[in-house]
Each structure stands twice: as structure tokens, then as C-alpha cells.
Amino acid sequence: MWRVDLLNTRRIERIVVYSRTDNLEWDSTNEFTKKLRGFSFIVSNTTDPWDGVVCYHNTNTTIETIPAVVDIPCSVVGRYVIYYNERLTGITYSNNHSQFAFADLCEVEVLGCPIPIYGHEDSSCTVPCLKMCKNYVLNGTGAFSGFSVYISNTVNRHDGSLCYRDGHLHYKPTLPDHVLIDCPYYGQYVIFYNERLPGDVLVRWRTMNIAGCPAQRIVKNVILEQDFV
């Protein structure tokens, strides 16, 4: 297992992994193809990979088809990027796998943007955040976000204040990668509410980041990250 600590939670978009090749021809005769097979990349907020999100698991390549450079779309928020591979006792692996698990990597690139902070979106970040997710929405197909955000002192949204209700019909060119919501209310619970009618196209939100003043329990804003399906 190998990991990198990004020192803070980050809005990751892509992970590019470069395998060790020793400058040899990258084909079935290169021993590193067998060592790379079966690997996973996981993003987690702890050093435990099982606490994280599996961005990629190599299951459908052979030593003839596995690339030396793997570009992984991975739209997720986290601090640790973990490379994991295994060769477990009691499991029979094909001859196209190495006998033991290795982390023979040349380079790993983690691309993304800092998580936006209220009033301080990083204008210098040029990564097209969540661009790859929009490719899963068909051209000409509209999708209602349709969500609402409430602040409440109970778990019942009707006891609280409505911060935001989205009723926009979004198309592929106009899908936002995140929504910044002004919500200057006191409360203990931030409630995300959504519903779907039969036939609606689903727009799913992946993460919610909340910024405010804990001592006074003021929610300054809510940031929602998109995950389009």
C-alpha cells in the first residue's frame, strides 16, 4: 500500500498513475504489468483505505492491455489518496498476476481544486471541476436538481427555516459543479431534502460542506458538490 497526505481535505477530480517500466517495452514481457494488475485507488479522510471511496479498481485488463499510464476520473472530497493492491493467502491468482503485491509506481498526480471557502473561491484553480461527470448527462436531456436546504433545531425540516430551493432545469452545458448558498440562520441541523417523481432524471449531490461560526451556531453557507448520473 502507498498513500499521499494532501494535508487537508481537497476537491479531487483526477488521479493519474504512472507505473514503473524501467524504460523497457511495455508489453506482456514487462514484469511490471503483472505487478500492476488488480490495483485500486482510494480517497479517504483517514489513513484507513476501508474508510474511503474506491475511485478505481483494475479488474478488466490483461498484461497485454493494461496501460502504463492510467488516467482515473475521481470526483470526490478527501485528504488521503491511497494506492492499494493485494495478493491474499488462500486465493488463486492467474499467472498474469505477480506472486506478491507491489507498489512499483513511477509517479502519481492528484489533480483538483481547493474546497471553496465562503467568499474565497480560488480563481487561480484552472482544473475544470467535475467536467467529466457532465459527460454522463445526454445532450438535450434536462435534469431538475429540485433540492431544498433547511436549517432547523430539530430533525424535522418543517420546524426550521428554508435556506434554498432549486427549481432550475439544467442541461449538460449549464450543469454547475457546485452551488454556494447564503444561509444566515441559527440552527443545529442542516437538512438536505429532495424528491423524485416517476420519469425524472436524477441529479445526485455527492458532498455538502458547511461553513460558519460554531460558538454561535450560525450557518454562513452551504456548498454542494455535484455527482451527475
CA–CA gap between residue 16 and residue 95 (Å, rounded) = 27
Closest-CA residue to 227 (of 192, 184, 175, 189)? 175
224 Cβ contact list (under 8 Å, min separation 6): 147, 149, 178, 179, 181, 192, 205, 207, 208
88-106 pLDDT, tens digit each: 888 888 888 888 888 888 9
Closest-CA residue to 40 (of 80, 11, 72, 7)? 72
The whole-number pLDDT of residue 83 equals 92
Point out the least confidently predicted range of 136-145, 170-179, 193-202: 136-145
CA–CA gap between residue 194 and residue 63 (Å, rounded) = 45
Where in the chain are the domains? 2-115, 133-228
In this model, does residue 82 exceed pLDDT 90?
yes
More confidently predicted of 80 and 167: 80
The whole-number pLDDT of residue 13 equals 83
**Banded pLDDT at 81 (limits 50, 70, 90):** very high
Q: What is the pTM of this model?
A: 0.53
| Superfamily of domain covering 2-115 | Galactose-binding domain-like (2.60.120.260)
200 Cβ contact list (under 8 Å, min separation 6): 143, 144, 146
Percent of the chain with pLDDT over 70: 65
